[in-house]
Amino acid sequence: MKAQVFSNKCIKGPYFKLVIKPSQKLTYMTGQFVMLRPAETTSAGIFLPRPFSIHGISGDDHIEILYKVVGKGTEFLSRLYEGSEIEFLGPFGNGFQIDIYNKPDEFIIVAGGIGVAPLLGLTQLIKSNCKETPVKVFIGGRGIMDLLCVEDFENHGANVVVATQDGSEGVKGFVTDALEEYLQDIGPDGRIILYACGPNAMLKRIYGIAGRSNIETTFSLEAEMACGMGLCMGCAVKKSGGGYYLVCKDGPVFNGDLIEFSND
C-alpha cells in the first residue's frame, strides 16, 4: 500500500512526529504497528521497511507515528517532506487488550523513551473503557529531552511521574526506581495491571519488581524486524517455557509471564 506524508516535524532533539495518509482507509487496534519504507530509499541502500507503532489517528484517517532517529532508516524518514510517498504495510500484530469485565483497582503504565509511542493510545483506551480506574503513568529517559507526551497523558486523565537519569527533570534515576518506590508506598492491597514499552533491560527489571508485588504485566516488545509478518524469523524472542515467539506475529504485546528475560 502507498501513503503520502502529510507532515513530518521534529518535536525535540532526535524525536519526530510523522503524519501520513494511507491510500486506503485503515482499521487498527491500539498497540499494532506498521512497516514503513520511504519510496526512494532503495537508491540510498535501505531495502527493508522499518516497524513503527501507530501512535494515533488524526483528521481524516491520518496515521500518526512518533519516532526517534537512531540510524539510516529513521534518518532518511526524518528528511521526508509533505507530499513524499511512503510504502506502507500493516497494521500488524495483536494490539492491547483491556478486560472490561474484570477491572483492576489501578492501571500502571511505564514508558522508556520512545516506548511512549503506543502507550498514549492505550491510556485513551483504558480511560474510555474504565473511566473510574486510576491510571498512573511513569515516563523515563536519559534527560529532559527524552521525555515525550507528558501533557498528553495528563490530558487523558493519567497521573504522571517522570524520571530522568541525569536529573534534569522529575525524579533522578531510572524510571524503574520511581516505579519501585511507588509500589513500596502503596503496599500489597488491591489488584494492579501494569503495561510497559521500552528497552528490554527496562522490561526485565519491571518484570522483577512487579513479580514481587504480585502485579500482572503486559509488555509491548521491540525487536529488529525485516518482514513484519512471520516470514523471516528475524524477530524471535525466547518463551519462558522454552522455544521462541515471533514479536511481529505473536506480539508485539505479550503477557510478561510468557517471555524469558534471563539471558537478555
Q: Which residues bind ligand FES (CB under 6 A)?
A: 225-228, 230-235, 246, 248
Q: Which of ligand FES, ligand FAD, none lies near 16, with the C-beta cut-off 5 to 8 A by kind?
A: none
Minimum distance between the CB of residue 48 and ligand FAD, rounded to whole angstroms? 8
Residue 11 near residue 67 (C-beta atoms within 8 A): no
The site partner of 30 among ligand FES, ligand FAD, none (C-beta below 5 to 8 Å per kind) is none
E strand or H helix at 182, and its extent?
helix 175-186
**DSSP reduced 3-state for 216:** strand
**CB of 13 vs ligand FAD, minimal distance in Å:** 12
Phi/psi of residue 73, nearest 5 degrees: -65, -45
Tell me which of ligand FES, ligand FAD, none is bound by residue 228, counting a contact when its beta carbon lies within the kind-specific cut-off of 5 to 8 angstroms.
ligand FES
Closest contact distance (angstroms) between CB of 191 and ligand FAD is: 28
Q: What does the alpha-carbon distance between residue 7 and residue 9 come to, in Å, rounded to a whole number?
A: 6
Rounded to 10 deg, the angle between the 175-186 and 200-212 helix axes is 10
Report the residue number, 134 or 234, with the smaller CB distance to ligand FES: 234
Q: How far is the CB of 253 from ligand FES (least distance, A)?
A: 14
Q: Tell me if 153 sits within 8 A of 159, measured CB to CB.
A: no
Binding partner of 74, given ligand FES, ligand FAD, none, CB within 5-8 angstroms per partner class = ligand FAD
Residue nearer to ligand FES on the CB measure, 48 or 57 = 48
Within 10 A of 176 (CB to CB), how many other CB atoms are there? 23
CB of 3 to ligand FAD, least distance (A): 15
Burial class (CB in 10 A: 0-12, 13-18, 19+), 71: exposed
- The minimum distance between CB 198 and ligand FAD, in angstroms, equals 10
Q: What angle do CA 95, 97, 102 make, to 5 degrees?
A: 175
Partner interacting with residue 227 (select from ligand FAD, ligand FES, none; CB below 5-8 Å by kind)? ligand FES
With H, G, I as helix, E, B as strand and everything else as coil, classify residue 97.
coil
Binding site for ligand FAD (CB under 6 A): 33, 50-53, 66-68, 70-74, 114, 117, 222-225, 247, 252
Q: What is the dihedral of CA 73, 113, 61, 32, to 10 degrees?
A: 80
Q: Which CB sits closer to ligand FAD, 175 or 225?
A: 225
153 versus 219: smaller Cβ distance to ligand FES? 219
Residue pair 52/117 in contact (Cβ under 8 Å)? The answer is yes
Q: Which entry of ligand FAD, ligand FES, none binds 137, CB below 5 to 8 A by partner kind?
A: none
